[in-house]
Amino acid sequence: MRAHEVDYRIHGGDMQFVEVELDPGESAVAEAGAMMYMTSAIEMETIFGDGSQQGNRGMLDALVGAGKRLLTGESLFMTVFTNTGQGKQHVSFAAPYPGKILPMDLSTLGGELICQKDAFLCAAKGVSIGIAFQRRLGVGLFGGEGFIMERLQGDGLAFVHAGGTVHALDLAPGQVLRVDTGCLVALQPTVDYDIQAVRGIKTALFGGEGLFFATLTGPGRVWLQSLPLSRLAARIRQAMPITGTRREEGSILGGIGDLLDGDR
């Protein structure tokens, strides 16, 4: 069964959303809570699993699909948006944090893509969203994404979200690229993914780049992000004021304000 052939348009710069255009009878599937807006003839249905070939699968298959999503840390449920009207209708899905939305045409990528957990945003109905276990213990323990990543399969459009600026690289056979483990967004299954420890105790402990790199060996395409969510969250935590105090970007006015308020 071929995935539905949908048209789309991506809006915005740093906080993007994707507008999907559906012909009568066409559907898109998305993470629960990703919808931004939809036009009047779009019907919304919550389902178990990923919705691929939903009408041809039994309850057991649906439960297996939902269980796979639970392993990746996602919700048991997904939402299917279907055009039940006579003309074209639109539904839009918003990115969860600053970055870029990447349209991935699986029919031109060999029918399969491996991506980090939480990267999937939405797809044409018929695309399967499953799990990809990392075979190596080192990758599972120190690879940043754990033993399980998301596997997108099919021949339709899928939309993946990444933080900051996205850079795609095509690796030649045998070409090796070392990447910060949090900066890897997606890779084709032909790319070999392994973990390499940082050399030198001083560099490992005080270099600020962590203890491990991801090593990617071609052939195949990889997608990298400049701002992993974990890095963004760490900076936000550092900037948060301690309870009961005021922080004004390092200004002495912060301390003066606390004195005037009677906090000191």
SS3 readout for 140-204: HHHCCCCCEEEEEECCCEEEEEEECCEEEEEECCCCEEEEEHHHEEEECCCCEEEEEECCCHHHH
User: Would you call 14 exposed, middle or buried from its count of C-beta atoms within 10 A (0-12, 13-18, 19+)?
Assistant: exposed
* Residues forming a β-bridge with 46: 79
pLDDT number for residue 205? 47
Structure tokens at 264: 């000191």
* In contact, 82 and 6? CB cutoff 8 Å: no
* Residues forming a β-bridge with 115: 150, 186
Q: Which amino acid is at 227?
A: L
For a pLDDT cut of 90, what percent of the chain falls above it?
A: 45
* In contact, 150 and 120? CB cutoff 8 Å: yes
Rounded to whole angstroms, the Cα distance separating 261 from 52 reads 59
Structure tokens at 38: 């939809």
Mark out the alpha helices in 122-225 (DSSP H runs).
137-142, 201-206
Every domain of the chain and the residues it spans: 7-256
175: helix, strand or coil: coil
Q: Tell me the CATH number for domain 7-256.
A: 3.60.160.10
Rounded to whole angstroms, the Cα distance separating 90 from 11 reads 13
Rounded to whole angstroms, the Cα distance separating 238 from 85 reads 50
pLDDT number for residue 217? 94
**How many other CB atoms sit within 10 Å of the CB of residue 115?**
25
pLDDT number for residue 138? 46
Report, as ranges of residue numbers, the positions in the chain whose pLDDT lies below 50. Answer: 137-146, 202-208, 248-252, 259-264
Rounded to whole angstroms, the Cα distance separating 155 from 4 reads 9
Helix (H) or strand (E) holding 253: helix 252-261
